[in-house]
């Protein structure tokens, strides 16, 4: 496994831990942690090398249960209070709407948490080949899905931090 893959796994672990312990911190510290972690995760995910990885037909099993996801989301919503809601300008439906579309920082963070938690569970105690396959899947999912929510929620967190 390449060093940038190991660094990515470490960042995923740090991010998941921060989400899981959000209720034990204050809003300013949590937002500072997220604005520090999310850009690093973005860069690390972008730099994942999947050369020679055939992830066709590969997938990562869901490991995060709905109750844990909801508990984390509610914890972050409570922590951020009124700052949890932001206007989403990059939503596809926005160009057809006369009204703004609201989004939740907590939901965006937890959507990313779900992807990374499932990934970590897939690589934990797996063979190197299975870990490499999981890296290919999470890298493709990043390109197709969770890179956009990461950028959107980072923009909202930046506003909270530096308002």
pLDDT digits (tens, 9 = 90+) for 18-70: 999 999 999 999 999 999 999 999 999 999 866 545 555 578 989 999 999 99
Angle at which helices 66-80 and 3-20 pack, to 10 degrees?
A: 70
Q: Would you say 122 and 60 are in contact if contact means Cβ atoms under 8 Å apart?
A: yes
- Inform me whether the pLDDT recorded for 162 exceeds 60: yes
Return the CATH number of 3-162, one of 3.60.21.10, 2.40.30.10, 1.20.120.1550, 2.30.29.30.
Answer: 1.20.120.1550
Domain boundaries, the chain: 3-162
Q: SS3 of 54, please? A: coil
Of all residues in the chain, the percent with pLDDT exceeding 70 is 87
- Inform me whether the pLDDT recorded for 99 exceeds 60: yes
């Amino acid at each position: 496994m390449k060093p940038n893959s190991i660094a990515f796994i470490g960042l995923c672990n740090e991010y998941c831990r921060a989400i899981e312990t959000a209720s034990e911190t204050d809003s300013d510290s949590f937002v500072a942690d997220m604005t520090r972690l999310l850009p690093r995760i973005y860069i690390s995910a972008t730099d994942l090398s999947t050369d020679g990885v055939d992830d066709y037909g590969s997938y990562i099993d869901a490991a995060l249960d709905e109750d844990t996801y909801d508990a984390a989301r509610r914890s972050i919503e409570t922590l951020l209070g009124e700052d949890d809601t932001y206007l989403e300008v990059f939503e596809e439906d926005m160009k057809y709407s006369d009204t703004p579309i609201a989004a939740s920082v907590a939901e965006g963070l937890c959507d990313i948490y779900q992807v990374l938690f499932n990934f970590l569970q897939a690589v934990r105690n797996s063979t190197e080949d299975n870990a490499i396959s999981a890296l290919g899947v999470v890298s493709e999912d990043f390109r197709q899905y969770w890179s956009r929510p990461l950028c959107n929620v980072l923009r909202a967190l930046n506003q909270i931090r530096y308002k």
